[in-house]
Copies of this chain bind each other. A is one copy, B any other.
Amino acid sequence: MSVTRADGRVERGNQTRRLILQRAVRIASVEGLEGLSLGRLANELGLSKSGVFALFGSKVELQLATVRAAIKVYTAYVVQPARELPPGLGQVWLLCRNWLTYSEQRVFPGGCFFYSVSAEYDAREGKVHDTVAGAHGNWFTLLERTIDEARRAGEVGEDTDIPQLAFEIVALLEMANAESVLHDNFTCYSKAADGILHRLRGVATDPSLLPLTP
């Protein structure tokens, strides 16, 4: 019965796991979670296949850990920076801008990680589907809550249909990602930004709270 101290062994394991997951999220954003393979990961990182396997216990656990790792990256790039703003339309808009930048800058080489793996697992069953669907739902909920806080701050009309607005915003965000990755065409990001700004101005109590151009 002792405090779990910094363990050289365990810590080394965690570091290797991080190294593997760093590569795994990049692979999965391009080739999907099914495109991951223990052998490939081991080869590319100079490890043994059995070593990689042992660190995660099974292929499914590796996939789940990969999704969790991607959530952390997503949170750090998109969600966290927006927390530093007070509730309001500015916060909503920053969330959207962060998302577009996160996609456009290819934080993951295949564009948004969750766009890729959601489409891959949407019609399947099992823990991977559930985890991916949960992450997607959490993002949606966060956006709705942020809009609702802007409403309570008086910057969004009281009669606004928030689920509808969130639906349309996410649609534009994901469409920009999809188009840009599929056709290597980055003009869609300003299309999405234009569309979102237009929608936000439509519900703003004071449209001057929003920038004139994306």
Interface residues of chain A, those whose CB is within 8 Å of chain B, are: 29-32, 34-35, 109-111, 115-116, 118-120, 122-124, 132-133, 136-137, 163-164, 167-168, 170-172, 174-175, 178-179, 181-183, 188, 191-192, 194-195
A119 and B30 alpha carbons, distance in the complex (Å) = 9
Instruction: Give the distance in Å from the alpha carbon of A132 to the alpha carbon of B181 in the complex.
Output: 12
Q: Can you name 15 extra interface pairs (CB under 8 A) apart from A34-B35, A122-B178?
A: A29-B123, A30-B124, A110-B122, A115-B119, A136-B182, A164-B194, A164-B195, A167-B179, A167-B188, A167-B192, A168-B171, A168-B175, A168-B195, A174-B175, A175-B175
Contact yes or no, A123 B137, CB < 8 A: no
Chain B residues in 8 Å Cβ range of A122: 110-111, 116, 178, 181-182
Complex alpha-carbon distance, A192 and B170, angstroms: 12
Q: How far is the CB of A201 from chain B (nearest CB, A)?
A: 13
| Complex partner residue of A118 from B136, B163, B182, CB under 8 angstroms | B182
CB distance from A138 to the nearest CB of B (A): 12
**CB-based contact A123/B181 at 8 Å:** yes
Chain B residues, Cβ within 8 Å of A170:
175
Number of copies: 2
Please, how many angstroms separate the alpha-carbon atoms of A119 and B183 in the complex?
Answer: 12
A133 touches B182 (CB 8 A): yes
From B111, B172, B179, A123 is in contact (CB under 8 Å) with B111
Q: Find chain B residues with CB under 8 A from A182 CB.
A: 118, 122, 132-133, 136
A195 touches B175 (CB 8 A): no
Q: Is the CB of A123 within 8 A of B136?
A: no
Of B31, B120, B168, B178, which contacts A172 at CB under 8 A? B168
